[in-house]
Amino acid sequence: MPGQPHRILYMYKKFLAGETLTSSQLQDMISEEIEIVSIRTIQRDLRLLQKIEPSLIGTPKGKEIYWSIPKDFRYPKQIFRFEPNELLAFHFLKAHLKTFRGTVIEKDVEKLYKKIEKYAPQEVVLDETLYWDQNVGYYDYSKLDDILQKVIECTASKKWYTVTYTTPKTLTSKDIIVRFETIFSYLGVLYVVAYVPKHKIHVSLSVHNISKIEEKKDFYEAAPPFNFREWSSYRFGVFSGEIHNVKLMIKKEFIHFFINRRWHVSQTEKLDKEGNLILEMRVPIGVDLINWILSWSDAIVVLEPKELIQKIINRLYQALNNYKIFAPEIKPKDFDDLMKEEKFETGGVKFEVYHLKEPSLKVSESTEGKSKYKLTLRSKKKKE
């Protein structure tokens, strides 16, 4: 049954909303919405609320007293709660806002900064760290101000444009009709997601490969809604392609680099009986995935699919060949050990690895019905 706590909370919410009310008005409102009360009961409630919240003031006007909480005190500290990631976002936003000091919007930004300061006091994120770019080999956009400005304007407008774009592989330019959706950064490079009506797909275009943008005023077509999370789920990194079930083994001495890290939205993970981490995800077999695996070549073993295993072996073989050409006299320190056969099993999959020179991939079925992968790197002897 309603009582004084219910009534006081009701009043408090009204005052926090900026309303100015008399005892008579509160009596009518509470009697209608909560329970029938007398004017004396309302007055006692107001006195108690004023003890709890000293910012509640009564201003006499004629025979009535008008109760309110001034605008600067309408922040209920006991009501708001933030998740850790939300609180961290406030601290990062504060650091970003400080970078606008000394600009034409300084006064407006300062108001927002002071408001956020109530939620996230003290210094947690230094503004100097915001632009400490640790991406090795990040692209220098200092000479592309005009294109960057145009991309920003076009992304905001959501109109149709003809874009002259240079394809990285062939270095050939072509004109495509697109609508820009959003800008994102990946490994030190800026990309814009664009909808291509001709193929009815969203693609990623690297900003530095855009040479010209012109509005397509005579073009009219409805673009489908864009969802970045859904769009990125069909990619590993930037590029898309046919989706495969990829299964990786992270050797147990390296799993502390992988535990509690999200590499893809579809990933699942578990430990095998040897203590290795088995990481599975549905992703395209593209250059970003292959480069990521190769960057962890001492930690990751690809279990499935064999198409990806073959690509990894080919890339490793190419890397060895590069050094065989330019530094033939240098051999691995433990070369003799590398020539030995190695056998191991993980997740029901048996492996036999022969560390020789030329790559090939053989796949056979074991008598137990489990997959048995044999990876051999054979060495061809010259005929005398």
Q: Assign 4 a pLDDT band (cuts: 50, 70, 90).
A: confident
pLDDT digits (tens, 9 = 90+) for 250-263: 999 999 999 888 88
Residue 136 maps to a domain = no
Q: Place 159 in a pLDDT band, splitting at 50, 70 and 90.
A: very high
Instruction: Return the beta strands (E) in 243-308 as ranges.
Output: 243-250, 268-271, 277-284, 300-304
Helix or strand (DSSP H, E) at 275: none
For residue 78, being part of any structural domain is answered with no
pLDDT of residue 124: 82
pLDDT tens, residue by residue, 284-324: 999 999 999 999 999 999 999 999 999 999 999 999 899 98
User: Is the pLDDT reported for residue 340 higher than 80?
Assistant: no
Number of H helices, E strands in the chain: 10, 15
Compute the distance between CA of residue 279 and CA of residue 267 in angstroms, rounded to an integer.
7
Asked whether residue 102 falls in the same domain as residue 44, the answer is: no
119 shares a domain with 174? no
Model pLDDT for residues 322-332, shown as the tens digit of each residue: 998 888 888 77
Number of domain units in the chain: 4
Same domain, 259 and 348: yes
In tens, the pLDDT along 185-198 reads 888 888 999 999 99
**What is the pLDDT, as a whole number, of residue 317?**
92
Residue-wise pLDDT tens digits, 368-380: 444 444 444 444 4
Provide the mean pLDDT of the chain.
82
**Residue in the block written with tokens 């009204």:** 14
The proportion of the chain whose per-residue pLDDT surpasses 70, expressed as a percent, equals: 81
Is 135 contained in some domain? no
For residue 63, being part of any structural domain is answered with yes
In a domain, 137, yes or no: no
Note whether residue 140 is domain-resident. Answer: no
Q: Which residue has the higher pLDDT, 201 or 365?
A: 201
The pLDDT score that the predictor gives to residue 378 is 45
pLDDT at 352: 57
Q: Are residues 105 and 184 in the same domain?
A: no
CATH number at residue 40: 1.10.10.10
**pTM assigned to the model:** 0.59
Q: With 70 as the cut, is the pLDDT of residue 239 above it?
A: yes
Flag whether pLDDT at 32 surpasses 70. Answer: yes
The boundaries of the domain holding residue 95 are 84-129
Instruction: Give yes or no: residues 283 and 307 share one domain.
Output: yes
Residue at which a domain ends, from 129, 160, 195:
129
When pLDDT is averaged across residues 263-289 and rounded to a whole number, the result is: 93
Residue 49: C-alpha distances to residues 14, 69, 79, 217 (Å): 12, 11, 16, 61
Quote the percentage of the chain above a pLDDT of 90: 39
Lowest mean pLDDT among 48-52, 80-84, 97-101: 80-84
